[in-house]
Amino acid sequence: MKKYTVIGKWLLAGSLGIAAVGVGGILPAPAVYAEQSMKQADYEKAAKEFISLAEKQDWETLYPLLSGNLQKYLTKEQLPQFWTGFTSPYGKINTVSLQENQHNGLHQKVKLLITAENGPFAFVLNYDKNGKVDDFHIENANNPSQIINPPYNHPENYIEKQITIGEEPFTLPGVLTLPKGNGPFPVVVLVHGSGPNDMDETFYGFKPFRDLAVGLANHGIAVLRYDKRTNTHAIKASGDSKFTIMEETVLDANLATKALASIPKVDDKNIFVLGHSQGGYALPLILENDKNNSIKGAIGVAGPTGKFHDLLLWQMEQGLLRAEKMNAPKEQIDAAKAQLEWLKTQIAFLENPQYSRDNLPPEFQLSPPYWWFDLNEYDPAELIKEQDVPLLFLQGGKDIQVPADYLDSWKSALEGRKNVQYQLYPDMMHFLVNFKGEPNGITEYMTPGNVPEDFIGDIAEWVKTGSIKEKPSVDLTMYKDYQPGLFWSDAFAWAITEGIIKGYEAEKVLKPYQPMTESEYLRVFLRSKLGSDLKDESLANIYAVAKSYGLPVTGKGNAAITRGEAAVLLVSSFTQKTVSEEEAVQWLYDQNLVEGYLDSNGKALKTYASFKPNEPMKRSHVVTMLYRIHHADK
């Protein structure tokens, strides 16, 4: 069988790293280096020279460019092994260009975008105040232009402070996002998932931790996020052959929560920890290591339970099935099958009771062995039973990395606990972004997006009140006329889940193409607008509320409402202006809330006529408009 050697612990799919041990703190980071020895342009030149020397294998010239701190962990003889381990999968380098050059509160971080024969990647160098390379690592080649600024990002509502966490030699750069005002504010510490993540948890077109920070600021909640140990100190982190998930993830989170107590405007009685993915897996350990009981509550987001290697095996098996379903090239299928068989041989070592972290099998190839065998003794679902901190578990229904079944695992482990809540978000994928189609492991990751505001709102509500209004999970397949993949499918799922529209339970149908009367339309519209504040849905009250909003209703409750009339009612409520049908339809086009009917050439023209204003408004069209409005607001 082919041997799959993993070169370098930072390449491990399970996300390895190391954290500072001992007492650390959070200190304000200097705005600039007081003793900065190079100008910004010089850092770009130095970084490109680093790549050039490595390509030439001129290790004699390159090694003195490393800081004394890094040289303690990396010998000159090891340097070519690290370079090869990082770059060999990409092949010959073609071009090198600057992507980022800024001070992050600890280092001057220089990110180079490198194109190579097998694909692009980013090479990151961290320079210390003396202009020496203090560490380096590779990242996915992200295109900054793909990152979407969330519409709920309102910089006028918050300030951000660069800070550092812990102590040398493993100090980490971070950012504290503080709402404007006097405070004190509750604060959430964000703990990363797998991989050498930055403080935003950047992955292709996603920055979920950035989104959470700015979104929670709107709710008066502070957020602390920081670069992961394997991001800032990738090489130095590889020097300890006996580090565990404690050093990788847990201790840094505890250092952050402990030090937050001394930060002005932070409410040290309201410190929460949010762990995503592997961070959620580590939550019970973080709580157990909270010696001062400073954590008021913990939030697990897409966090697995059970054995970590079982999840990795499931991911690879599902990836192979998706590749076969998508008719991937035979050589890719064969390679995936071979890698799966290899992984099974490694898992067999983990499941063999004769081996342990103190008796490692020499044939074991998952790196580093100590990390894996230490983690093999950990079951988060068992440890969480011993703790009584309030908990909130959130899970996406379209997560193909940590499937929604794990939410039920947490429920089973904590059955009977009163201070725990669970919430499933049907359309959410692993990076906390809603995806409307069927996830396949490619499309949803290549579609940039933001964390939805209702998800952020639920976190804020729980942090402030200790509970959230749980949304029922609706299985639309119970309705005989439900069809996935149509323009109204996701909209109906959302509307029924939110209680905005109802199915015909006796008949088990949705009747998406049934025309609506004016009173039916008003009920659906006011449910979406007022939510639980709409206490009385009687015909008289519905019209009274509509008139209080100045809506131009006809009062003919049982008469079918036309598309044009519905457009006027909808637009009038948002613009608070008297509008004609033509103006209302144009407004809907301008907001990208509707498309016109297709013409004979198959084109959807944005005209008044193509809107077909005189046709009856159907249930599917109403919920689709409201669904788009809801997501446009987010």
Q: Are the CB atoms for 560 and 515 separated by under 8 Å? A: yes
Residue 470 lies in a domain: no
User: What are the backbone dihedrals phi and psi of residue 175, each rounded to the nearest 5 degrees, phi first?
Assistant: -135, 130
User: Do 495 and 562 belong together in one domain?
Assistant: yes
Which are the contacts of 121, defined by CB distance < 8 A and separation ≥ 6?
87, 90, 114, 138, 139, 140, 141
User: Do 64 and 106 belong together in one domain?
Assistant: yes
Q: Are the CB atoms for 525 and 570 separated by under 8 Å? A: yes
438-445 long-range contacts (CB < 8 A, ≥24 apart) are 438/484, 438/485, 439/398, 439/399, 439/400, 440/322, 440/325, 440/326, 441/319, 441/322, 441/400, 442/326, 444/398, 445/203, 445/204
> For the chain, which ranges sit under pLDDT 70?
1-38, 470-473, 631-634
Q: Return the structure tokens found at 382.
A: 């068992």
User: What are the backbone dihedrals phi and psi of residue 516, each rounded to the nearest 5 degrees, phi first?
Assistant: -110, 150
**pLDDT for position 12:** 29
Alpha carbons 468 and 462: distance in angstroms, whole number: 5
Residue 4 lies in a domain: no
What does pTM read for this prediction?
0.74
User: Do 20 and 125 belong together in one domain?
Assistant: yes
Residue 2 lies in a domain: no
User: Do 620 and 517 belong together in one domain?
Assistant: yes
Alpha carbons 157 and 431: distance in angstroms, whole number: 25
Rounded to the nearest angstrom, the gap between the alpha carbon of residue 325 and the centroid of all alpha carbons in its chain is: 26
User: Do 83 and 133 belong together in one domain?
Assistant: yes
Domain boundary among the residues 465, 486, 516 is at 465
Question: Considering only CA atoms, which of 437, 439, 430 is closest in space to residue 399?
Answer: 430
Q: Kindly report, residue by residue over 445-464, the tens digit of the pLDDT.
A: 999 999 999 899 999 999 99
SS3 content of the chain, % helix, strand, coil (to 5): 40, 20, 45
Domain boundary among the residues 356, 375, 394 is at 375
Alpha carbons 217 and 177: distance in angstroms, whole number: 7
User: Do 536 and 599 belong together in one domain?
Assistant: yes
**pLDDT for position 142:** 84
**Region at 481 (left for phi over 0; alpha for psi -120 to 50; beta for the rest):** alpha
Alpha carbons 450 and 428: distance in angstroms, whole number: 11
**pLDDT for position 472:** 61
| Domain harbouring 231, CATH code | 3.40.50.1820
Which are the contacts of 353, defined by CB distance < 8 A and separation ≥ 6?
none
User: Do 264 and 340 belong together in one domain?
Assistant: no
Residue 3 lies in a domain: no
Q: Say what angle helices 563-575 and 518-530 make with each other, to 10 degrees.
A: 30
**pLDDT for position 22:** 26
Q: Are the CB atoms for 523 and 542 separated by under 8 Å? A: yes
Q: How many domains does the chain have?
A: 4
Residue 1 lies in a domain: no
**pLDDT for position 554:** 86
Residue 300 lies in a domain: yes
| Domain harbouring 128, CATH code | 3.10.450.590
User: Do 365 and 402 belong together in one domain?
Assistant: no
**pLDDT for position 371:** 93
Written in H, E and C, the secondary structure of 529-587 is HHHHHCCCCCHHHHHHHHHHCCCCCCCCCCCECEHHHHHHHHHHHHHCCCCCHHHHHHH
User: Do 137 and 254 belong together in one domain?
Assistant: no
For tokens 């201790």, the residue is 251
Domain boundary among the residues 337, 353, 375 is at 375
Helix (H, G, I), strand (E, B) or coil at 136: strand
Domain membership of residue 115 as a residue range: 9-145
User: Do 254 and 357 belong together in one domain?
Assistant: no
